[in-house]
Chain A
Amino acid sequence: MTLALPTRRIEEWKYSDLARVLGDAGFGEDSARALVGPLPHGVEAFSLDEANRPDWVNAHYGKLSTNAVSAVSLAKAQGGIALRVHKNTHVEAPLALDFLGQGHVRALLVLQEGASLTLLERCGGGETRNAGFEIVLGRNARLDHVRVAPNSSAVQVEEISMTLANDAQYRAHFANFGARLSRLELTIALKGEGASVDLSGVSVLSDQSHADITTHVTHEVGQTQSLQLFKNVVGGGAQAVYQGKVTVKPNADGSDSRQTAKALLLGPRAEADLKPELEILADDVKCAHGAAVGDLDADSLFYLKARGIPEKEARHLLLHAFLEDAMACITGPDLRESVRGAVSRALDEVTV
């Protein structure tokens, strides 16, 4: 297996020039760390740098990752964490997962049948990192996932690859405030009838920062649902990328898929590359996709100013409003408020 990093000549990496920003050193040979908060009852953890991996880790580890960058992290990561939520265990409080340090890191999360969990993933430290994260959702399992990537000048790449069995649900929100290069790639296979994913995300980018979210959702069987809503506010010379590919396999009738990506560009140097894509190989499906790039509405801006709200505050209010529907579905009021707060602070940076 070759472990070369992708270049822009590969279509999927056209908007994120990983080889250029990393240079000859690539991600290096170091291993980053994955830390979890105190384990609630019914959740089991195994540190991947230890010997004698249990069967449940061996059964899943390294089986789902598909892309070139993940192959590198699988080959080089010395550590990371595997987590399992036991059958029918309902974990109430959010569990924190932090990726820290420089280098390669792996994580595996298995939700057994009927299990449910809320995961708060934080990408801290501002170090260059390549994370590979595999998620397995058993029948009727439910995972709520909130990932917050603070602004940094690092290069951060993460591939999340997952499978969903019958009636499993995955609801995720990705808030990204930009990095020198930030790439989150999701590869999701809806393998069981009744499985559904609801993905949403916001990016607020300023200066020269970059945020790329690339999704591949495959409806392998019918009666499955995928919803995607991504919104971006791009200032300065920043760049937002959304590439979303939905594939509906032959005979996956009754699939329902919607994807929307929108961006507001705040200046002439800001860039958004939005590319929703559908590949439908079945007959009876309901699919819609759309993308739009624009500026703030002048009528709305005047209305707010005429009510006494100064320009900067009015712009802030309208930008927040633009992002609001992508944040509204975040699980739990505390997580939702914390993302809204982070968005608000980031908007202060882009509104002048």
Chain B
Amino acid sequence: MLEIKNLHVAVDGKGILRGLSLRVDSGEVHAIMGPNGSGKSTLSYVLAGRAGYEITEGSIRYRGKDLAALAPEERAAEGIFLAMQYPVEIPGVTTMMFLKSAINAQRRARGETELDAVAILKAVRKKAATLNVSEEMLKRALNVGFSGGEKKRLEILQMALFEPRLAILDETDSGLDIDALRLVAEGVNSMRAPGRAMLLITHYQRLLDYIVPDRVHVLAKGRIVAEGGKELALELEAKGYEQIIRDAA
């Protein structure tokens, strides 16, 4: 599904990722853990195609294609979804109108027929209920005045609606209380499927109590420095990043 080789990425001329390699296969859930400043968010942005993140060396292949050649909206239509750490607030665009625009833009790009407002409302309502996203939230301006938990739930609702092949969840657990975390984790777990891969990017092990990964990678100074099964996350929690990074060196 995703194969990253020797990836170097610079932001404003400064090298952030320095030789990162990673392979995620269909049906797998991988966790990327790392301390602040290790390059976690840079990895998520470069996968989603944000401007200003320059690939200076190495490659990213997604389903056999060179990902760098695709614009962000093309990546979305190809099935890549990034649940953002800080979802933006957009006054003047209702959440429902945004969802309709996004769903139909993706369908159009894939050559599928667009859905009418009624069909979209029906699909949204069905999935919103399980994530405790209220009708009132859907009528409000996108993310405006939403609590941290509401914003993250809306990100997961989008994931459920778009049904991506590759979902990247950037610090989805940050700012969530335990109930909200459980709700979000249930939403994510319900989407685990043989045809779908997930990349959980997180600082803390806590999320991995709820969403159990197949593989754990430790990111430090722009590279993967340690890899293992789900037990690596527990080891990190016990020993701390410094110790693991030292052991790996």
Contact = CB atoms under 8 A, between A and B. Distances in A.
A210 B48 CA distance: 39
A324 interface: yes
Chain A interface, >50% SS class = helix
B33 to A, nearest CB: 23
Contact of B87 (A303, A308, A318): A303
A307 B92 contact: no
B92 A325 contact: yes
Contacts of A324: 91-93
Contact of A318 (B71, B73, B77, B90): B90
Given A302-B51, A313-B101, A308 B92 contact: no
B188 interface: no
A307 B74 CA distance: 9
Contacts of A323: 92
Nearest to A321: B92
Contacts of A322: 92
A309 B108 CA distance: 10
Interface residues of A, number: 24
Contacts of B48: 302, 306
A276 to B, nearest CB: 21
Contacts of A298: 51
A299 interface: yes
Contacts of B106: 307-308
B109 to A, nearest CB: 7
A307 B83 CA distance: 10
B199 interface: no
A339 B76 CA distance: 32
Given A308-B77, A308-B162, A303 B84 contact: yes
A321 B71 CA distance: 23
B88 interface: yes
A302 B82 CA distance: 11
Question: Which residue among A303, A311, A322 has the maximum number of chain B CB atoms within 10 Å of its CB?
Answer: A303
A299 B90 CA distance: 10
A336 to B, nearest CB: 14
Given A310-B105, A313-B101, A317-B101, A305 B72 contact: yes
B73 A310 contact: yes
Contacts of B84: 303, 306
B92 A302 contact: no
